[in-house]
Amino acid sequence: MGTVREISIARRTGFCYGVREAIDKAKEARAAGKSTHTLGQVVHNEGVIADLERLGIETVETLDDVDHGAAVVIRAHGVRPDVMERANARGLDVIDGTCTWVIQEHRELVKLVDEGYTIVLLGTPNHAEVVGMLGFAPDAIVVDEEEEWAQKVPRKKRMALISQSTQPPWKFERLAAFMVGRSHELKIVNTVCPVTIRRQEDTVEAAQAVDLMVVVGGRSSANTKELTRLVGIAGKPAIQIEGAGDLTDPSVFEGREIVGITGGTSTPIEDLRDVAEKVLRLAGTPDTAARAAELAEAALAGAATPAGRTTSLPTFVHNESATPASGAA
């Protein structure tokens, strides 16, 4: 018999607006009858990719895989300017799903280059967003872990600091403090995304009220790993999984009565509901296990993410005559 008698989902979870809008754009293009592709996985979530494939939206790794005139959606991470130019030159129907926040990062980088700063970019090397950013500032120095800062960050008269959107705010602040000692003039452009900050705050708040947190997101997702780390700092145990299918061992929940669930910015909120249901079926009390589906729906309703803003369009809104999409993205 299990012990979990209560389950909750952290406020303001589900996709961030950048991911959601890129997915919506792909769905809208497909609904309009276009042959639609996304350049790279629009989100690192196998369930979402499978749903898009069912709609006929294909993921391609290079522009060469897209036929002349077909639609190609640029994902929220954005791309280098030469990729955009090449897509246009090839006569593709380019649908720019670059997140507005990332577009702002690109503009800031162009300004910093024009102003002659030595640019330090806090980010994960080879992450798609960082690769795109480097297209606007090829000489920017990418730094990640603190151990490498002393070696990588130069001593220069004029330096600027900017960040990949999903970097932890504490790391950005610490790097800024570190760079103060290495420059005469330091320009700080804080591009840590507010959605990332809110997600972390909500997760830490949720962790206070539970015995265990379940963090749902891609194994390689930096913002998901950071949520797990923060729960630990808040003094609560956490397990990190990719989805409900990863939950098979009830002993993880032994003795836990209240369980909280949160997810990265690439995790659809419906996945959190599925996880809630699985936790209760696996480790709920006789009463909560029997009511798992109902309680999981209630947990979903209790999250502050507004209905219909969580994943993508529930139906193809711009072309009523088109085949309706399923509600889950």
Q: Give the residue, chosen from 29, 79, 161, 195, that forms a contact with ligand SF4 under the rule CB under 6 A.
A: 195
Query: Cβ closer to ligand SF4: 195 or 210?
Result: 195
Query: In this complex, which beta carbon is closest to ligand SF4, that of residue 166 or of residue 200?
Result: 166
Among 10, 79, 102, 241, binds ligand SF4 (CB under 6 A): 102
Interface pick for ligand SF4 out of 13, 36, 163, 166 (rule CB under 6 A)? 166
Tokens of 291: 């009511």
Cβ atoms within 10 A of the Cβ of 249, count? Answer: 11
- Report the 3 state secondary structure along 247-282: CCCHHHHCCCCEEEEEECCCCCHHHHHHHHHHHHHH
Using the contact rule CB under 6 A, the part of the chain among 39-47, 84-92, 96-104, 135-143 near ligand SF4 is 96-104
Catalytically active residues are: 129
Cα–Cα distances in angstroms (integers) from residue 241 to residues 169, 267, 302, 308, in the given order:
23, 11, 22, 25
CA-based max dimension of the chain: 66
Give the residue with the Cβ less far from ligand SF4, 133 or 212. Answer: 133
Which one of the spans 37-45, 88-96, 113-121, 193-201 is the region binding ligand SF4 (CB under 6 A)?
193-201
Q: Is 101 in the site for ligand SF4 (CB under 6 A)?
A: yes
User: Which SS3 state, helix, strand or coil, does residue 12 take?
Assistant: coil
Site string for ligand SF4, 125-164 (x = CB under 6 A): ----------------------------------------
Residue 196 Rama label (left phi>0; alpha psi -120 to 50; beta): alpha
Total Cβ atoms within 10 A of residue 308: 10
Q: Which is nearer to ligand SF4, 18 or 268 (by Cβ)?
A: 18
Phi, psi of 216 (to 5 degrees): -110, 125
Q: Pick from 99, 112, 282, 295: which binds ligand SF4 (CB under 6 A)? A: 99
Q: Report CA dihedral (202, 269, 18, 136) to the nearest 10 degrees.
A: 80
Distance in angstroms (rounded) separating the CA atoms of residues 91 and 115: 34
In angstroms, give the least distance from the CB of 45 to ligand SF4.
Answer: 14
Among 76, 120, 140, 238, binds ligand SF4 (CB under 6 A): 76
Query: Per-residue x/- mask for ligand SF4, residues 260 to 299, rule CB under 6 A?
Result: -----x----------------------------------
Q: How far is Cα 130 from Cα 163, in angstroms, rounded to an integer? A: 9
Q: Which residue is nearest to ligand SF4 (CB)?
A: 18
Residue 40 backbone zone (phi > 0: left; psi -120 to 50: alpha; other: beta): left
Report 3-22 residues binding ligand SF4 (CB under 6 A): 16-19
Where does this chain bind ligand SF4 (CB under 6 A)? 16-19, 76, 99, 101-102, 165-166, 193, 195-196, 265
